[in-house]
Structure 1
Amino acid sequence: MKFPLAGALLALAIAALPADADDARPWQEQVLDGYHAFDPTAADTPKALATLIERGERLFKGKFVIEEGAGRPEATQAIIPTKRRRPAAESHQRLSGPDANSCQGCHFDPVLGAGAPFSSNAFVSEGFDAADFDTTDPQFSNERNSIALQGAGLVELLAREMTADLHRQRREALRTARRTRDPFRQALSSKGVSFGEITASPDGRIDLTKIEGIDSDLVIRPFSHKGVIVSLRQFAVNALNSHVGIEADERFGARWTGTADFDGDGREDEIGPGDISALVAFKATRPAPTRKTDLPEDWQQAAASGEALFSQIGCASCHIPALPLDSAVFEDPGPLDTAGTLRRAEVERPIRFDLAEFPWAKGLERDDRGRLLVPLFGDLKRHQISDTRNERLGNELIAQRFVDRDVFMTAELWGVGSTAPYGHRGDLTTLDEVILAHAGEATDARKAYTALQDADRQTIIAFLRSLEIAE
């Protein structure tokens, strides 16, 4: 299904006009101001882009109300449209949701778009159709702390480029195997991060048993604690349904479900692709975290020593200080968006804007090839982070999208000095505590940390505390 330019602009123009006198009242409580179709020109000029981001911020901060579709009495939080066996008894529910009135309700500390304390945790389940499973029992739901979105646009772009590298390596391995008529083993890596290896056979089969930290489709999904969300667009569509009960018609509308009111709340086509794009633009342009610049001299010296030790004891093997980005041009929808989100093939052209042009990006370093260095302190890879001797970071009982319960995405540490508490549940109060909770693949690094003198461990904390989200 295409969204012609003329039709998109007409829909936007109509949506901007008040349908009745109530729409023009400045004290109205609704967040949505009509249905916004996808508009590929929405970022073609600096003014247009600023308007798009401003609308995204208003949607992110806005407190949605029942009149515009908040709540989902006959639908679950599942990412695939799923009906409840019976309507929910209450409009809001902390366990199965909706558990918030706005995006800001889970992303506000220390600034808009960041994380939240333990009190704002969400409960993630597969979206059971019966209320009997709406429980904090870890057999049925995983409790999760909010992730900060600062720098998220750069993270998604890194994931896109790394996915393209891995897919190219897979194609080349298949071509080599066909040409030589022998199995060909191909190491998988991108931007210095290893993802194991594949073996291609001349008949087109690929042995995936030795891949590491990634799904079998070799797509890097950079968002969520488990690394299961591919894009900020998917993130927005998922979260609006799960946490607020606002359902995007690109997933829950008539095209996929056969009805414009899948959740049975009497409101059709609750949010259009134009507003999802506004949310994407707002999240993608959140400034990247930085380092504190006004530190006293003793902290500066401790942080410098701590950063060196951080690398020496092995922490930087997963928390890689910076990954190179070839292009900072962000496109929405992206190349990896799939069914359930608006896709590249469904639009005349994507919305485009260059993150490198934003003032906050000017301070990021570049390498000798001119690539932007994204200082995320991560590797966009999943790792086993707990084991039977130390299960502190593997305390979930159910898998999410087939990712083992003790496997999590490497947490990006940029901004970590501003995002306490720590861990996927947000119940580890200090950086020292979360480091000591590492196990599994991180066992050697944790042991090296514990073997340090207390003064040396404190320098690592000083370094991590210098990585901040600017307020």
Structure 2
Amino acid sequence: MSICSRNSGAALSVALLCAAAPPALADDRMARVLGAALFERAWVPAPSSTKANDGLGPLFNARACVSCHEGLDRWPVATDADGVVLDETLVLKLSDEGGRPDPAYGVQIQTAAVPGFAPDGLVHVGEGGYAPHALARGPLGEETRAGARLAPALRGLGRLEAVPDDVLAATADPDDADGDGVSGRFVGRFGHKAHAPDLATMTAIAFATDLGMSTTHRPAPEGDCPDAACRAAPHGGDAEIPEITDEIVSLVAAYLAAIPPPTASAPDPEGAALFAEVGCAACHTPALPSPGGPVAAYTNLLVHDLGPGLDGGATEPGIASTEWRTAPLWGLSRALANGAGLLHDGRAGRVVEAIAHHGGEAARARAAFEALDPQAKARLVGFVEGL
């Protein structure tokens, strides 16, 4: 049964869309419209009068997906006068060196809670970066490391998902067989650590870790809450039906997949040549082939070790804390215009600062950039900042 033919409670505009379009096209469009509405929906704690909306928490960072991804772009982090983070654009991840969560606080600091529960605590930024603050259940585990992550821009994800796995696997060189110092691994394609293979998984992870809502991908109804009291709290699902159904996950993923890539000014050929010459393109591949045409995202979607200067503290299982998925550079000009900062935690205000933090597999490219004369360096920076 198609979305248009089932009783989905669609708004009049969606019903008219279905009536005006061919069945397959209408079904696809309606999935995107419903996915957008679910992306913006504010979820509530269970039990509520509307079971379809409940299941939030008990601990969470946001009530809606859009809270972390306003405007689909990357944004700066708001703090108060004391340095306490005030918004949902940043989360503080937790893990030991092997990617195992903190025994008391789980995979990240949850800064909000439903009535009757205390949040994990707050996130504070100081000279040493972001750190947990005012923790509710004592200190972190002895082996736990913290690491801040900025919510990424969400434009063009469907194009990245369309790149075939075999294309990415073919570009990987985990043992650096060609001796160029770059040894990328194909792990997944979404998330700072490439820990999500597709948009559905990425969506399910966000529901579980940021909103505390279960899916078939992440069935624990308490979300990111190791405490026994959380497991005993009221939940919006049960053992057979999760709080967030597969259909909801699919609809949100369909909406994300349909968001077009960011637009940019026409690239400077000389800047593009310098980008390749110094070695940036070894990881930030200008375009990847896909059935729908080249995906000009400036990434190879592989995981690379960028050295101790970019040790992110917390990590995912099987991925070192210094390893990162190559960040797509399309839309970088929008992030700079928003004042969002670059890298995983926004520590770099400009491209030159971001390059300075690159080591490990990127050390040769950084050295080549630093060896450029001032005019060529400015040309290359201008090219990257225009993407």
Q: Is the pair's TM-score, using the shorter chain for normalization, greater than 0.5? A: yes
1:232-283 residue CA offsets vs partner (Å, 9 max, x unmatched)? 10111110121122322554279xxxxxx96732422422211111101011
Contact 1:159 1:220 in 2 (8 A): no
| Number of corresponding residues | 305
Give the residue type in structure 2 aligned to 1:62.
R
What residue is the counterpart of 1:466 in the other structure?
386
Contact 1:423 1:434 in 2 (8 A): yes
What is the rounded CA distance, in whole Å, between the counterparts of 2:42 and 2:256 in structure 1? Answer: 17
What residue is the counterpart of 2:68 in the other structure?
106
What residue is the counterpart of 1:86 in the other structure?
none
Structure 1 residue runs of 4+, over 6 Å off? Answer: none
Residues 1:444 and 2:369 are matched in the alignment: no
What residue is the counterpart of 2:374 in the other structure?
454
Contact 2:55 2:235 in 1 (8 A): no
Identify the match of residue 246 of structure 2 among 273, 291, 298: 273
Contact 1:60 1:279 in 2 (8 A): yes
Contact 1:226 1:382 in 2 (8 A): yes
What residue is the counterpart of 2:126 in the other structure?
none
Q: CA offset at residue 70 of structure 1? A: 4.6
What residue is the counterpart of 1:59 in the other structure?
38
Give the residue type in structure 1 aligned to 2:234.
D
Contact 2:306 2:322 in 1 (8 A): yes
What is the rounded CA distance, in whole Å, between the counterparts of 1:413 and 1:100 in structure 2? Answer: 27
Residues 1:228 and 2:195 are matched in the alignment: yes
Q: CA offset at residue 141 of structure 1? A: 2.7
What is the rounded CA distance, in whole Å, between the counterparts of 1:264 and 1:128 in structure 2? Answer: 21
The structure with the largest alpha-carbon Rg is 1
Q: CA offset at residue 438 of structure 1? A: 0.9
Q: CA offset at residue 290 of structure 1? A: 2.7
**Residue segments in structure 1 that go unaligned for 5+ positions in a row:** 18-23, 25-42, 74-90, 92-97, 167-188, 199-210, 255-260, 294-299, 329-371
1:358-381 residue CA offsets vs partner (Å, 9 max, x unmatched)? xxxxxxxxxxxxxx1110111111
What residue is the counterpart of 1:377 in the other structure?
298
**Residue segments in structure 2 that go unaligned for 5+ positions in a row:** 12-21, 79-88, 95-99, 110-119, 122-130, 133-139, 222-229
Contact 1:101 1:244 in 2 (8 A): yes
Residues 1:50 and 2:19 are matched in the alignment: no
1:145–1:253: structure 2 CA closer, same or farther, 3 Å change rule? closer
What residue is the counterpart of 1:246 in the other structure?
213
What is the rounded CA distance, in whole Å, between the counterparts of 2:105 and 2:174 in structure 1? Answer: 40
Give the residue type in structure 2 aligned to 1:158.
V
Give the residue type in structure 2 aligned to 1:374.
V
Q: Indicate the RMSD between aligned Cα atoms, in angstroms.
A: 3.1
1:70-96 residue CA offsets vs partner (Å, 9 max, x unmatched)? 5322xxxxxxxxxxxxxxxxx5xxxxx
Please state whether the residue corresponding to 1:118 is helix, strand or coil: coil
Contact 2:150 2:345 in 1 (8 A): yes
What residue is the counterpart of 1:37 in the other structure?
none
Matches within 5 A, 1:61-460: 61-66=40-45, 67=48, 68-73=53-58, 91=59, 98-108=60-70, 112-119=71-78, 120-125=89-94, 126-131=100-105, 134=120, 136=131, 139-162=144-167, 166=169, 189-190=170-171, 193-196=172-175, 212-214=183-185, 220-249=187-216, 251-252=218-219, 264-268=233-237, 269-292=242-265, 303-325=268-290, 327-328=291-292, 372-387=293-308, 391=309, 393-394=310-311, 396-420=312-336, 421-460=341-380
Q: CA offset at residue 425 of structure 1? A: 1.0
Q: CA offset at residue 127 of structure 1? A: 4.4
Give the residue type in structure 2 aligned to 1:124.
K
What residue is the counterpart of 2:84 in the other structure?
none
